[in-house]
Amino acid sequence: MDTTLRDGEQTSGVSFMPHEKLLICRALLESLHVDRVEVASARVSDGELEAVQRITRWAASKDMLDRVEVLGFVDDGRSLEWIERAGARTINLLCKGSRRHCEGQLGKSINEHIADIRRNVELAASKGIAVNVYLEDWSGGMKAATADTPDDYVFCLLDALIDLRGIRRIMLPDTLGILNPLETLDYMRQMVKRYPDVHFDFHAHNDYDLAVSNVLAAVLGGARGLHTAINGLGERAGNAPLASVQAILKDHFNAKTNINEEQLNRVAHMVESYSGIAIPPNKPITGSAVFTQVAGVHADGDNKDGLYQNALRPERFGRRREYALGKSSGKANVRMNLQELGLDLSDEDMKKVTDRIIELGDKKEQVTQEDLPYIIRDVLKHSDEDEHVRLLSYMVSTAYGLRPMAQVRLQIGDQIYEESAQGDGQYDAFVRAVRHIYRDRLGLKFPWLSNYSVIIPPGGRTDALVQTTIEWVYEEHSMPTRQKPPSKPQSNC
């Protein structure tokens, strides 16, 4: 079960719009083929109600409504009424899985809590709403039981609920992320041994960076359902990331799931865009750098017999392997990139180009495959080619109450063109002016800005190396371009 739209939205600073929730839900169910999705918490807001209504209408039209779940509370049916109004048919009922939470937060005894739960489950059954029971702080409840101070709270609670009609699954969350894999394995085995016919889900949190390990331990212990989130989003340190769990289950346990691995990267970046939480470059499976070989010896080994590759082939995830260009590059890295560009160099020229790339890397400059033709021209003194496009001059202006304006003069070939435009910002106005020249004056296509990032080292030093990377899409081909850092220090202004 994927909980990106519920627990994932509890990531600090994350809030999905109703249409974004629908698009993500469709991607999870239709593209990734997850079995179930938890899409919201009941009674949160009017916007949340609208989002769930959109999702349930779509899910019903696709015969997927039974795969959509909503978190609800033991509140005398108020959550059930909300869920019914939203059009959902499954409640994940949040109960207290530890004596400490039951008595400390609710101020009730276990018997009082059991009575409340039973009333809500029976009410759900009368409305035709299926129930999955969350035992919040289940891990804390299990850890409270030791040889010296036995605490049967969890077992007493389940003994009283297990026979109730309408309960499909018991969800066992490590709410505070306090378990290690050995404890997870032990506790899950205890649950399965005592209740062999019950479907148990496991819900991990990553506070100790053990979420994925605990998920795998839960599987070994007999868990039949797993809760994950795209990019590991979730409360505090987050949940177990779906991509990592899928890869490990398949490669290390030969487990079969319905997940479409080729869609993992696409959906991860879709959620990155909507959530505003960037995927770290070294994030397994979906990070920008995880299929990039840096050391020259690795590229050499790959070129000879794939010696530095494992079962995590990028093609599985709709990606490709890359070979970084920088201070650690060898000739093999350069050669692999040149092969993709259809270029070939002599050994002597290859050494010159490699030395220049290493020199740039020592200066902390990023070098990409797209830079290679220009580096080759510079190093090998191929200066007979003039720049095809030159920015001769530009002026941008902004004023209170008026849209920003830009005036641009370009030389393209032997001709000089000048154009002006307004935009939503100064940069937008500048690009619109250039686009007018290309599209309106020359009848040419213009690349589309798809993404950008600005890297500013911390500390506020005036000699800080600031780099801007802008990614363009032209005829379905992605092209990253960068602002070259100044040769002399400039002020932060």
Q: What is the pLDDT of residue 373?
A: 77
What is the band of 25 on the pLDDT scale with cuts at 50, 70, 90? very high
Establish whether 6 is a catalytic residue: yes
- The arithmetic mean of pLDDT across residues 396-420, rounded, is 91
- The arithmetic mean of pLDDT across residues 292-304, rounded, is 65
- Residue 264 CA to residue 425 CA, distance in Å, equals 34
485: pLDDT strictly greater than 90: no
What is the band of 467 on the pLDDT scale with cuts at 50, 70, 90? low
Per-residue exposure over 36-72, b if at least 16 CB sit within 10 Å of its own CB, e if not: bbbbbbbbeeeebbbbbbbbbebbeeeebbebbbbbb
What is the band of 88 on the pLDDT scale with cuts at 50, 70, 90? very high
Write the CB contacts of 305 (distance below 8 Å, at least 6 apart in sequence): none
492: pLDDT strictly greater than 50: no
Establish whether 136 is a catalytic residue: yes
Q: What is the pLDDT of residue 397?
A: 92
Indicate the range of 77-81, 247-251, 340-344 predicted with least confidence. Answer: 340-344
Count other Cβ atoms within 10 Å, centred on residue 472: 16
What is the band of 302 on the pLDDT scale with cuts at 50, 70, 90? low
Write the CB contacts of 174 (distance below 8 Å, at least 6 apart in sequence): 138, 139, 184, 202, 203, 204, 205, 214
Q: What is the pLDDT of residue 466?
A: 64
Q: What is the pLDDT of residue 221?
A: 97
Q: How many helices and strands, by DSSP H and E, does the chain display?
A: 16, 15
Pick from 22-26, 144-148, 355-359, 402-406 the range whose average pLDDT is largest: 22-26
- Residue 431 CA to residue 423 CA, distance in Å, equals 9
Q: Is 169 helix (H, G, I), strand (E, B) or coil?
A: strand
Count CA atoms closer than 13 A to 188's CA, side-chain side.
30
Regarding predicted confidence, which is higher, 188 or 374? 188
**Helix, strand, coil fractions of the chain, as percent rounded to 5:** 40, 20, 35
The one catalytic residue among 136, 322, 365, 419: 136
Give the mean pLDDT of the chain: 88
What is the band of 319 on the pLDDT scale with cuts at 50, 70, 90? confident
- The arithmetic mean of pLDDT across residues 157-176, rounded, is 94
Determine what percent of the chain is predicted with pLDDT higher than 90: 62
What is the band of 335 on the pLDDT scale with cuts at 50, 70, 90? confident
- Residue 235 CA to residue 136 CA, distance in Å, equals 14
368: pLDDT strictly greater than 80: no
Regarding predicted confidence, which is higher, 472 or 300? 472
Regarding predicted confidence, which is higher, 41 or 299? 41
Q: What is the pLDDT of residue 358?
A: 80
- The arithmetic mean of pLDDT across residues 310-338, rounded, is 79
- Residue 217 CA to residue 198 CA, distance in Å, equals 18
465: pLDDT strictly greater than 60: no
Q: What is the pLDDT of residue 490?
A: 43
Q: What is the pLDDT of residue 228?
A: 98
- On whether the CB atoms of residues 278 and 287 are closer than 8 A, the answer is no
pLDDT tens for each residue of 33-76: 999 999 999 999 999 999 999 999 999 999 999 999 999 999 99
149: pLDDT strictly greater than 80: no
- The arithmetic mean of pLDDT across residues 79-89, rounded, is 97
Determine what percent of the chain is predicted with pLDDT higher than 70: 88
- The arithmetic mean of pLDDT across residues 193-213, rounded, is 97
What is the band of 462 on the pLDDT scale with cuts at 50, 70, 90? very low
- On whether the CB atoms of residues 124 and 130 are closer than 8 A, the answer is yes
147: pLDDT strictly greater than 60: no
445: pLDDT strictly greater than 50: yes
Please choose, from the candidates 382, 365, 364, the residue with its C-alpha nearest in 3D space to the C-alpha of residue 373: 382
Regarding predicted confidence, which is higher, 464 or 263? 263
What is the band of 493 on the pLDDT scale with cuts at 50, 70, 90? very low
Q: What is the pLDDT of residue 114?
A: 97
Indicate the range of 79-88, 258-267, 364-373 predicted with least confidence. Answer: 364-373
- The arithmetic mean of pLDDT across residues 183-189, rounded, is 98
pLDDT tens for each residue of 211-234: 999 999 999 999 999 999 999 999
Pick from 323-337, 354-368, 434-448, 451-465 the range whose average pLDDT is largest: 434-448
- Residue 155 CA to residue 157 CA, distance in Å, equals 5
Q: Is 227 helix (H, G, I), strand (E, B) or coil?
A: strand
- Residue 362 CA to residue 359 CA, distance in Å, equals 5
